[in-house]
Chain A
C-alpha cells in the first residue's frame, strides 16, 4: 500500500514542548473537565423538564394540504395526565398549532377527506403510560394502521373507528391509511 510521504518527526530536542504541562497538571485538567460536565449534567437534567420540546405541544401540523380548516378545538387538548403541560404550550415549534382551550380530555380526531387528512398531518403527543384515545373518521373505506404498536382497524366509507390503548412504546409512529399508503397522523410518545 503506497504511503504518503511525511516529513521527519521533530527531533526530541527540536520542537521541545513549550507548554510545560506536567503529568499532574494534565490529570488535573481532565478531572476538572469531568467535574464540570458531571455537575452540568445533574443540573440540566433535573432543571429543564418544561423545556423538553417533546412535551411542549400536543398537536403539531407538519404538512397541510388543506390549510388550517382543521378541527383544532377537539385536538389541541392533551390528555390530562399532567396538569402543568399546558404551561409549555408557548414553546411549540409547530407551524399551525392552536392554543388549547382547557377543556376535559377529549379523544383526538383525524378526519380523512378524499383520502387525505384534513388539516394536514398532525402529531398527537402523549407521555409513556398515558391512555391514547384516537378516533379516525374517513370518507373512504380503508384500514387504519398505527405503526409500532401495530394496531389495525378497518373503517368503512363515511364511518369512523376508535383506538384506545396504553402508550407503552416511546418514539414517533406513523398512523396510516394502510391500503392507500397515506400517512394521516403522527403518534408521539415521550418518556414519562
Chain B
C-alpha cells in the first residue's frame, strides 16, 4: 500500500498535472487476495423481507415475561490451575512469535506471520471462536498472563509488601477500551503502513506495555475488565456464547444469556457504537460512493491536498473523517431510537441508552461475521504456510510451507448466504434482548411493546445498513 501510494505520488509529479492522481484506496489491506462479490439484488430484497417479517412476527409472539434476565447456569467442568497457567504461557509464546516475526521476518505482508495473525486470526477469528466457545481470549491473554505471572512471583518474593492498586475512576468506565478499539480500527482501515510487519509488531508491543502499566496501577482484573480494549471487545461477544468460563469453571447457559448481565458503566454505549461503526466503515470505504471516480474520498482528499497536505496525509485525514463519521452515524441512529422510546415516559434517556445497549452486541457480531467471514475462510488458510515459514525466509518447520489457499473451499453464493444469515440472526437476537429488557423496564406489557416499536426501528436501521453495505449499490 505504501509503495502504491509512493508510486502514485511520483506518477503525479511526472505527469505534472494539477488534476488529482489518486491511488486506489479501495482495498482493506494487502492481505486480501480475493474480495467478496456484492450480494445480488434478489438476495438483498429477500433478506430485507426476512428482516421485516421476523420483526413483526417477533412483536406478535415474543414472551410477555422476561426470560433472559436471570438465566440459570449449569456447571459443566472445572479445569486445574496448571491448565490455566499453560494457556497463559501459550498466549505469551504466541505473542512473542508474532512480534519476533514482525521484526525479524520479511517485510512482505503476505509472507510474514504477523499481519495475518493480527488482522485475520486475532481480530476476526477470535470473535467467531468467542461467540461459540465463550471468552477464550481471557485464557490466553498474553499481557494479562505476564502480569499475573509477575504478581505471583512478587507475592512469593515479597509477601504482603505489594502496594494496593489505585481505585479505578468510575467515570472512566469502558472509555479506554472504546478508544483502544477505535485506534485499532484506525490502524487497520486508515493507516497507510497497516501491512508493514515491523510497524505492526512495534504497535503490538506498545499496546502490551500500556496494558502492563495499566494493570500494575489499577489492578489486573479491574484493568482487564474495563480498559484492555481487546479483553473488553472479546468479552462482550463472549456474553452471547452458550459457554461461560468463570474462576476456572465452565458453565453452560442459554445463548444470549450473558448479555443482560452486562454492567453498563460509562463508555459502554460508546464501545458498541465504535464496534459497529468501524466495521460499517470497512464496508463503506470499499464502496463506489466512497472511492468512486466522483466519490466522497477523492473529493475530500483533493480538498486536503489543496490545503498543502501530502498525498498520504490527505488520504489518512479523509479516511479518519470517514471512520469517525460512521461511528457517529451508528451512535446517532441508536440515540434516535432511545429518544423515541423516552417519549413513552418513565425513564431518563441516558438511562434508557444504557439499559438497552446490550441488545447491540449481537448486531456488532453480525457485522463482523458479514464483513469478515470470507477473509477468515480464505486468508485463514494462509496460516498453514505461515506457521511453517513465519519469517518468510524459506524455512519449513511443519512441512506445510508450500500449502496454498483454496479459494473454492466455499463458493461466492455460499459466502452470500453466510453474510445474510449473520445479519438476519443478529437482528433477531438483538430484538429478543431488547424485548426482554423492555419487559423489565416498563411495568406494563403494553408500554413495553410500544417502546419496542422504537427499538425495532433501530434494529431494522442497522440491519438494513449492514445489507446495503454488502450490496452492489454500496460496492
Contacts and interface: CB of A to CB of B under 8 A. Distances in A.
B445 A16 contact: yes
Nearest to A179: B3
Contacts of B21: 65, 116
A47 B225 CA distance: 51
Interface stretch (B98-106, B114-122, B141-149, B405-413): B405-413
B292 interface: yes
A10 B7 contact: no
A36 B92 CA distance: 52
A89 to B, nearest CB: 15
Interface string A137-156: 00000000001101000000
Given A3-B261, A93-B472, A181 B7 contact: yes
B35 interface: yes
Nearest to A3: B263
B441 A62 contact: no
A65 B22 contact: yes
B7 A180 contact: yes
A180 B7 CA distance: 7
Interface stretch (B64-72, B128-136, B203-211): B64-72
Contacts of B404: 150
A52 B473 contact: no
Given A6-B440, A172-B34, A173-B33, A37 B408 contact: no
A123 B19 CA distance: 23
B244 to A, nearest CB: 12
Given A181-B4, A191-B413, A7 B441 contact: yes
B40 to A, nearest CB: 4
A118 interface: no
A41 interface: yes
A14 B38 contact: no
Interface in B4-62: 4, 7-8, 10-11, 14-15, 19-24, 26-27, 33-38, 40-43, 45-46, 49-50, 53-54, 56-57, 60-61
Interface string A15-28: 11111010000100
A148 B22 contact: no
B298 interface: yes
Given A9-B65, A48-B41, A173-B34, A15 B46 contact: no
B443 A37 contact: no
Interface in A48-80: 48, 51-54, 56, 61-65, 67
B65 to A, nearest CB: 7
A51 B445 contact: no
Given A150-B404, A182-B4, A170 B37 contact: yes
B40 A53 contact: yes
Q: Which of under 10, 10 to 19, 20 to 34, or 35 or more describes the interface residues of A?
A: 35 or more
Contacts of B253: none
Nearest to A95: B293
B251 to A, nearest CB: 14
A182 B43 CA distance: 33
A6 B352 CA distance: 12
B248 interface: no
Contacts of A115: 7, 10-11
Contact of A30 (B19, B33, B57): B57
Nearest to A23: B61
Given A3-B263, A52-B41, A148 B407 contact: yes
A64 to B, nearest CB: 5
A62 B293 contact: yes
A44 interface: yes
B444 interface: yes
B465 interface: no
A2 interface: yes
A15 B443 contact: yes
Interface string A151-192: 000000000000000001111111000001111000011110
Contacts of A15: 64, 439, 443-445, 448
A1 interface: yes
A65 B46 CA distance: 38
Given A120-B293, A147-B34, A170-B37, A18 B24 contact: no
Contact of B14 (A114, A169, A191): A114
Contacts of B335: none
B50 A63 contact: no
A66 B408 CA distance: 36
Contact of B412 (A3, A56, A183, A191): A191
B11 A4 contact: no
B407 A171 contact: yes
Given A3-B261, A33-B54, A171 B36 contact: yes
Contacts of B56: 33
Interface in B281-305: 288, 291-294, 298
A169 B407 contact: yes
Interface string B438-475: 01110111101100000000000000000000011100
B1 interface: yes
Contact of B7 (A53, A61, A182): A182
Between B56, B60, B66, B441, the greatest number of chain A beta carbons within 10 A of the residue's beta carbon is seen for B60
Contacts of B64: 15, 17, 19
Across the A-B interface, the 6 shortest Cβ-Cβ residue pairs: A53-B472, A17-B64, A170-B412, A181-B3, A48-B42, A44-B42
23 contacts: A2-B263, A4-B264, A4-B355, A10-B443, A10-B444, A15-B64, A33-B53, A37-B46, A37-B53, A45-B43, A48-B41, A95-B292, A96-B293, A114-B11, A115-B10, A120-B293, A147-B34, A150-B33, A170-B412, A170-B413, A171-B34, A171-B407, A182-B7
Given A180-B7, A189-B412, 12 more contacts: A1-B261, A10-B444, A15-B64, A33-B54, A48-B42, A51-B40, A52-B42, A53-B40, A61-B293, A114-B15, A181-B1, A191-B413
